Structure 1
């Protein structure tokens, strides 16, 4: 038989921008009324991730610690509950570093591809939908580009593939899985606009 607690962990409205970790932890405690215990040397030089929204203290703290190399452990002593911060294990910290590097490269790929599409009026109209699949070689060149379904215009399909094949990106991380896929949405469906790409 499994017992479920009838109490529900309260939620709070958090609006914590990216900032030095020590400052963010103090603001976290002010908002939630929950202490996070840490040494000053442990958090020195680390930056907190932004946290916004209505969240439980536990979920908010997990978001705040993303990318810091720290983990939290919840401890209770009588009626006192607190979070204790500690370093991630070496393996977990390495995995977090890999994820961050891949996410940065994904963002670079999307920016370079979108810039290339916006540079050609035949692909910058923003009134079509397309799923692109391609690979990036060791020199950062896009190759083996293909469309997974037509945009509805065979000439535009050919231009899309040719445009992709001209894109140059930085050398990809060696542990990045390929091929890559990128979905292009019409502007009215929430896709990016070339006006956005043109802004500095």
Structure 2
């Protein structure tokens, strides 16, 4: 994930196109670099059709939907933004075979009641179908309490830090974050996208970089983490005091 820790709904906001990063962050880069020492006399490779989406092999079993989305994001290098409360208790469909990224995601989400809403090459946001029924407890995929506690604590801590600075208080704009938690559970390698408010991004970066969240990711959660905070989510956590 590359992890997908998306705690609030992205509906209505364009998914952010994250800037390309180096290999350490695991960001996928289109196009293959030239091989060192390649013979100059070798014929040029046949150009790839730009209008043909790349196809790759997927071998994703049926999993709790959150875990499946983490694996999908780790393989494709694509950010996936969604509300963890809305995927809790849902299970993905298996994806076996060669597909484009969009085809694989559609197969993974089949039957879950969750669909892509906004998509770009680097990011996609998910939302429930308008008429989707809540998952039945009989489906037998209980939410992981430790994971839910961690996500709730993470979101609450970040909203608290944003509320401490009047210029960047959460609740009036949509905010997408990507970061890692280091050995002391502090935010590291932060990337920020404030929808419609790019002038706030340097202040948000300064406020959150190095912030300790008080908990490490639960076992099995890969990094970096992705978090989307909407005004609705900020209100759900009590909003900023007036």
When normalised by structure 2's length, the TM-score is 0.37
- Where is the helix percentage greater, Structure 1 or Structure 2? 1
Rg comparison, structure with higher value: 1
Q: Larger RCO: Structure 1 or Structure 2 (Cα < 8 Å, ≥ 6 residues apart)?
A: 2
Greater strand content: 1
TM-score normalised by L of structure 1: 0.44
